[in-house]
Amino acid sequence: MDSYVELYRAANMIEAHALKGYLEQNGIMVRVLGEALGGATGELPVESQEVRLLVEQCHQSRARALLNRYQQDLAPWQCAACGEQNDGHFEVCWRCGAEPEA
């Protein structure tokens, strides 16, 4: 039997599926819990749902490492050249074009 453990609680379904896609690209199967809850109770706003991502226990440590990298990729960074705050998806500073320090 597969043994699944909770990896992460997402704020909403959009975040959950973005992360699920990222992990699956890296070869880790993910189960998303929470999306089926609405069946009997009607339509809940997406924000109020608790969405949990589960991974197989044997992949847990690798999944956590990927999760950290994913979150770092999204984290804002500060330009060393001009001090501007940049969103994580910018590869160079939007203001002055400098690259972030490694």
Helix, strand or coil, per DSSP, at residue 62: helix
Q: What are the structure tokens assigned to 9, written together?
A: 């609680």
For Zn ion, the closer of residues 66 and 79 by Cβ is 79
Give the Cα separation of 52 and 8 in Å (integer): 6
> Toward Zn ion, which CB reaches closer, 68 or 85?
85
Q: Cβ closer to Zn ion: 70 or 90?
A: 90
Residue among 10 and 79 whose Cβ is closer to Zn ion: 79
Nearest distance, CB of residue 82 and Zn ion, angstroms: 3
98 touching Zn ion, by CB under 5 A: yes
Which conformational region is residue 83 in: left (phi greater than 0), alpha (psi within -120 to 50 degrees), or beta?
left
When asked if residue 81 is in the footprint of Zn ion (CB under 5 A), the reply is yes
- Residue 93 near Zn ion by CB under 5 A: yes
Binding piece for Zn ion, criterion CB under 5 A, among 13-21, 29-37, 40-48, 80-88: 80-88
Contacts of 14 (CB under 8 A, 6+ apart): 46
Q: How many helices (H) and strands (E) does the chain have?
A: 3, 5
Interacting residues toward Zn ion by CB under 5 A: 79, 81-82, 84, 93, 95-96, 98
